[in-house]
Structure 1
Amino acid sequence: MALAHKGLDFVERPYPFTAIPEIEEGFSKTVPILRDGDRLVRDSFEIAVYLDETYPDRPTLFGGEGGRVLSRFVESFSQMVLHMPVTKMAIMHIHDMLDTPDQEYFRASRLDRLGKEIEAVAAEGDAERETFAARLEPVRRTLHFQPFLGGDSPLFADYILFGALQWMRVTAGPPPLAADDSVMQWFERCLDLHDGLGRRVTAA
């Protein structure tokens, strides 16, 4: 979404979990990784900062320093408030989408990270589904004043939050939000951005 926002051409190359250590000679333990000519950048936020600094003549992702530091808050909100509930709702779906070597990696790495088997994590998913909408109340109140977190048009803060809900959409199905929920309406607007880029990824 950030690359499309900047109007930059790019080639996307998906990899399985077990192939990540082979990308760019082990440059990063996680994806995404951006190669721009001879430059390599890891981490979604750092990639966005790089794009804004390297291509200042193209549409801004942050709208200035204030937008950049406030986007860190949105990142923290997404990671601390949304990621674990989405994980609980999606974890078995993700496992079942993987080939056998990646299923084995996924089980072991999530046990190490979460301290319990993925079935035990998934068992908490129904409860998270019931309370998920309430977690988004700060976003809902913000969208009462404007169509995007960035104001009249999206900024990287929108793409951060959109990424969490899109992650759920493509692994476990649509976020558990009513059609008339302002957050769901915002999510639909984000799916339509950049000629429907978000909708090109098949939903679960």
Structure 2
Amino acid sequence: MGILLYELVGSDERRPFSPHCWKIALALAHTGLSFEGRPTRFTEIAGIENGVTKTVPLIRDGERLIRGSFAIALYLEEAYPDRPTLFGGEGGKAMARFVERWSQLTLHTFIGEAALVDIHGLLGPEDQAYFRESREARFGKPLEDVPADRETRLKDFRAALAPLRTLFRHQPFIGGEGPLFADYIVGGALQWARVASPFPFLAPDDPVAEWFGRCLDLHDGLARRVPAAA
């Protein structure tokens, strides 16, 4: 058996939605390593692999368990040096760390709030109860109030994508002529938005949307196989 990837799903196990899990699904496909997704719901995470983790992604590679998306990517790079690189060297690792921080602060903050009620709708009853309690404690307000201003904030979110928009005037991927882990970091965030919510985070004619389309087509359309939220 190949690598086992525990990935977050809602009531429909065919629709993994976690941005961090999508980073690793795309990274594994990039390396060409055989892997199997193991659908995992929020309330099931604590019970996997004898409680080794509180979050996913988690992979099992033989006897090795590795948790956390960046740690997993580093592991794949080091354990399989004969496979296509995810970083292209130490500079690529440093670049990817910057991109991850930018993505967390710029993309995840808005997407996580704007899609909050939509994500809740993906979940089964037990997970919905957990999700509502934990997110209302985090935001200090009812779940439904969190995305109330998303239409107003959308213009600023799209403006914040300018670094990507201008980059794609010069090259097709963040990694250059082809994708690297930095592409999967940002692509995973936008796949989270695409799978979880019908809200139009990207304008159709945005160069970022065109780049994301290229990402959806990578690895025989791995990400595109999961339909967008309707």
TM-score normalized by structure 2? 0.86
- Does 2:222 align with 1:200? no
User: Which of 205, 208, 220 is equivalent to 1:180?
Assistant: 205
Question: Which structure shows the higher strand fraction?
Answer: 2
Aligned length: 204
Structure 1 residues 175 and 44, CA gap change in structure 2 (3 angstroms):
farther
- Does 2:108 align with 1:65? no
Q: How far apart are the structure 2 equivalents of 1:169 and 1:19?
A: 24
Q: Contact (CA 8 Å) 2:193, 2:201: kept in 1 or not?
A: no
Instruction: Write the deviation string for residues 127-157 of structure 1: whole angstroms up to 9, x where unpaired.
Output: 2323321110011111111000000000000
Q: Tell me the equivalent position of 1:145.
A: 170
Q: Please state whether the residue corresponding to 1:122 is helix, strand or coil.
A: coil
Match of 2:120, as an amino acid? Answer: H
Q: Tell me the equivalent position of 2:58.
A: 33
Q: How far apart are the structure 2 equivalents of 1:174 and 1:60?
A: 34
Alpha-carbon distance, 1:113 to partner: 2.3
Q: How far apart are the structure 1 equivalents of 2:127 and 2:164?
A: 34
- Does 2:125 align with 1:100? yes
Q: Please state whether the residue corresponding to 2:130 is helix, strand or coil.
A: helix
Deviating 4+ runs (over 6 angstroms): none
Deviates more, 1:101-110 or 1:169-178: 169-178
Q: CA RMSD in A?
A: 1.1
Alpha-carbon distance, 1:177 to partner: 2.2
Q: How far apart are the structure 2 equivalents of 1:41 and 1:127?
A: 40
Residue identity (%): 57
Q: How far apart are the structure 2 equivalents of 1:120 and 1:200?
A: 32
Q: How far apart are the structure 1 equivalents of 2:219 and 2:174?
A: 17
Question: Which structure shows the higher helix fraction?
Answer: 1
* Unpaired stretches in structure 2, ≥5 consecutive residues: 1-25
By relative contact order (CA 8 Å, sep 6+), the higher-ranking structure is 2
